[in-house]
């Protein structure tokens, strides 16, 4: 029996997961991952790496992906509020170039499953945030790809006009500038 609410999104394969939290006067308890339950909902991946990121308000990380070793991700805000975004880079998908965004908070612990073939990024809208994600493939610096956060062809409505970006993220290409081998 699944103990969570599952919602599909307009992007095929991207799923929003709202786990049940068991709260009392001591705090709360929830499962953040249960292999059999996730497999029953169609998320059948071998997770090989867990990552945690801490960021301050206005920090935007992304939009990232791996080219030859694509990663599926299971993402979740553990503390604070994150404006989380995915962009479909699957050339043969009916939603190619489309994006989906969601508010993830440490209060409700909602997760999002992102299959391979998507660029992913997020922006911190609270004072700070702790963000966790599982990856189905190991991080490979030589295989990094990225999409400029403000690419007008994608048209993401971010909550900040001047986010705090890493030097690398400032120089990411627009979709029209992608090398041919970057798209699935």
Q: Which residues are catalytic?
A: 64, 133
Query: Rounded to whole angstroms, how far apart are CA atoms 74 and 37?
Result: 14
**Helix or strand holding residue 21 (H, E):** none
The DSSP output letter for 124 is E
Query: Rounded to whole angstroms, how far apart are CA atoms 67 and 76?
Result: 23
CA 47-86-166 angle, 5° bins: 90
């Amino acid at each position: 029996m699944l103990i969570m609410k599952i919602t599909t999104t307009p992007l095929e394969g991207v799923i929003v997961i709202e786990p049940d939290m068991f709260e009392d006067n001591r705090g709360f308890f929830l499962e953040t991952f249960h292999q059999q339950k996730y497999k029953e909902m169609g998320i059948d991946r071998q997770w090989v790496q867990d990552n945690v990121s801490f960021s301050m308000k206005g920090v935007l990380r992304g939009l990232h992906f791996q080219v030859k070793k694509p990663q599926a991700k299971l993402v979740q805000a553990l503390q604070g509020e994150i404006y989380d975004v995915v962009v479909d880079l699957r050339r043969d998908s009916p939603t190619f170039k489309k994006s989906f965004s969601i508010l993830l908070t440490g209060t409700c612990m909602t997760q999002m499953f992102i299959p391979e073939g998507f660029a992913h990024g997020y922006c911190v809208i609270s004072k700070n945030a702790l963000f966790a994600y599982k990856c189905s493939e190991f991080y490979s610096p030589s295989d990094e790809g990225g999409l400029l956060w403000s690419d007008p062809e994608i048209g993401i409505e971010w909550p900040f006009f001047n986010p705090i970006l890493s030097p690398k993220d400032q120089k990411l290409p627009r979709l029209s500038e992608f090398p041919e081998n970057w798209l699935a």
